[in-house]
Amino acid sequence: MPVPGAVTVSNFHMTHSQTGPYEGKTEILYGLNRAGGPVVLDRVFKGVRVTNFAQVPDGGGSVVNTLFVFQAEGLCIAHFGNMRFGPSPQQFAALGKVHVLLLPIDGMGNVPHEIAAQVVKRVGPNIVIPMHYFGPELPVQFAAALRVEGIAQVVRAPSNEIELSLRRMPQPTVYMVMPSEEIP
C-alpha cells in the first residue's frame, strides 16, 4: 500500500490517531496538541492548502474533534472528522464555499442525524459523503434526515475513488453513497 503524502489527526481517540505506520514516512498534521489544546493549521502542503477548526465544548476544555479543510485548484473539501456538535457560527462563516463534505453519520458518538442534516443544509456542499458508520441502516436513516432538510438526491459513487472538478459539481446538494453500500 502506498504511503500517503500527509495524514491528519482530528482527535486522540484510538480510531482517529493511529499514526504508527506513518511515523517518519509522511507528514502528520495534528489538529490538537498532546495536552488537548488546539493547533491552528494554515499551510500549503504539495499544492493543497490545509486549514482546521478545533471543536471545543461551550464550557471550554480540551479539543474533542478537529474539522479539516483542504483547498486545491478552487475546490474545497471539508472533513468533519468525529464531529460531536456542529461548527460554531464563526466556523460556519470561515468555511466559505464547501464543494465536498465528508460527514460522520454514526448518530451515536457523533451528532444525531437530524443535527448532521441541518449542518449539511447550512454548509450547502455540492456533495456530501457519509463516513464513520457501520451497517446499512445508518445511511438510510441519514438519507431520511436529509430529506427533511430538502436534500433528496442520492447517487451511487461510480467506484471507491471519485474524480472531482469544479466544472462537474452537481447542483443542488447530492448525497453520494459509496459502492459498497445500498442506496437509501
* Whole-structure pTM value: 0.92
- List, run by run, the mean pLDDT of 10-residue segments along the chain (184 residues): 86 82 89 93 92 90 93 95 91 95 88 94 96 84 95 91 91 89 62
Dihedral angle at the C-alpha atoms of 170, 175, 181, 183, nearest 10 degrees?
-90
Residue 94 contacts residue 143 (beta carbons within 8 Å):
no
Which pLDDT score is estimated for 58?
Answer: 84
What pLDDT does residue 182 have?
Answer: 62
User: Superfamily assignment of 6-177 in CATH?
Assistant: Ribonuclease Z/Hydroxyacylglutathione hydrolase-like (3.60.15.10)
Rounded to 5 degrees, φ, ψ at 134 are: -135, 135
Q: How far is CA 137 from the centre of its chain?
A: 20
For the purposes of burial, counting CB atoms within 10 Å of the CB of 93, is it exposed (0-12), middle (13-18) or buried (19 or more)? exposed
Instruction: Say whether 163 sits in a helix, a strand or coil.
Output: coil
